[in-house]
Amino acid sequence: MVKDKPIAFDAYEKLADAYAAKIDTKPHNAYLERPATLSLLPEVKGKRVLDAGCGPGVYSEWLLRHEAKVVAVDASPRMVELAKKRLGKLNVRVHDLRDPLDFLKDASMDIVLAPLLMDYIEDWIPVFKEFYRILVRKGLFVFSMEHPFAKGLWQKSEDYFKVEIVEEKWTGFGAPISMPSFKRPLEAVVSSLSSSGFRMEKLLEPRPTLEFKEKLPEDYEMLSKQPSFMCIRAVKV
C-alpha cells in the first residue's frame, strides 16, 4: 500500500521559496509565534536538539548560533534544499514525521523542537511516542500550533470537538494558496501529551510584540485580544 503524502506537502512545495524569503521578517512568525516559542527553550548550548519540521531552517540557525547540536528534518524536499543552503553542513534530511525516526537512537536528544508542525499531522500519538523515545529522561518537547480557539478556524466546522481537515487561504507569501491542516480541540492536545508520557509544564498564548505593531498596526489590536497561536513546553517523565 502506497502511503499518502503529508496533507500540506504540495502547498509547502509550491510556496517554499517565497516562505524562505519572508520567514525572517513576516510579522505573524517573526514577531508573534517565534518569540514565544523560543522563550520556552532552556539554555541550549551543548544540547542535542531535533528541529522537527525545520522548514527553511530559521529555528536551526538560531539553535546553531546558540551552540546547540542540531539534527533537522522536514517532509518537503524543497524546504530541505533551502535549509541546507542556509545552514551549510548541518545534518538536514527529508523525513515524514509520521514514520519512525529510525536514524535516531533511544535517549539521543535533549530537546525536540516542533514549531508550527503538528497542525499538519492527524494522529499525534505515534509521533509523540517517537519524540518520547529519542528524548533523554526529563528531556523537553517544545512545540507551537494554531490556537484551537483561533478566530476563523473553529468557525469552519460545526463540531469543535472533532479532529478534521480545514483549509485556509494564505496570502502572506505571494500568490494566494490553499493550505490544509487539521484542527483539534484543546482537550485532544493535552490528552495526546499525557497519553505519550509527557507532562505539560507551560502553555503560552502569544501576544504580538512591539515590532509586530510597527509592521502591522491594523492587526496588532485584534491579536492583542484574540488568540492566534499556542506554544507548549512538555517534559518527558
Neighbouring residues of 154: CB distance < 8 A, sequence distance ≥ 6: 148, 160, 183
The model's confidence at residue 219, banded by pLDDT at 50, 70 and 90, is very high
Residue 193 lies in a domain: yes
Across the range 157-175, mean pLDDT stands at 90
Mean model confidence pLDDT for the chain: 95
Q: Look at residue 2 and tell me whether its pLDDT is greater than 50.
A: no
Q: Look at residue 156 and tell me whether its pLDDT is greater than 90.
A: no
Q: What is the pLDDT of residue 128?
A: 98
Number of domains the chain contains: 1
The model's confidence at residue 155, banded by pLDDT at 50, 70 and 90, is low
Residue 91 lies in a domain: yes
Residue 137 lies in a domain: yes
Across the range 97-104, mean pLDDT stands at 98
Q: What is the pLDDT of residue 153?
A: 65
Across the range 56-82, mean pLDDT stands at 98
Chain-centre distance for alpha carbon 110: 17
Q: Look at residue 1 and tell me whether its pLDDT is greater than 50.
A: no
Across the range 40-56, mean pLDDT stands at 98
Across the range 208-214, mean pLDDT stands at 97
Residue 145 lies in a domain: yes
The pLDDT > 90 percentage for the chain reads 91
Note the maximum CA span of the chain. Answer: 51
Higher pLDDT, 91 or 117: 117
The model's confidence at residue 125, banded by pLDDT at 50, 70 and 90, is very high
Nearest to 74 by CA among 126, 31, 35, 20: 20
Residue 35 lies in a domain: no
C-alpha angle 95-97-62 in degrees, rounded to nearest 5: 75
pTM of the model: 0.96
Distances (CA, A) of 8 to 12, 30, 55, 92: 6, 21, 12, 20
The model's confidence at residue 45, banded by pLDDT at 50, 70 and 90, is very high
Q: Look at residue 8 and tell me whether its pLDDT is greater than 50.
A: yes
Residue 197 lies in a domain: yes
Domain range for residue 56? 9-29+42-236
Residue 186 lies in a domain: yes
Q: What is the pLDDT of residue 152?
A: 61
Cα(136)–Cα(131) distance, integer angstroms: 10
- Condensed to tens digits (0 to 9), the pLDDT of residues 142-154 reads 999 999 998 666 6
**2-11, 135-144, 216-225: range with lowest mean pLDDT:** 2-11
CATH number, domain with residue 77: 3.40.50.150
Residue 3 lies in a domain: no
Q: Look at residue 90 and tell me whether its pLDDT is greater than 90.
A: no
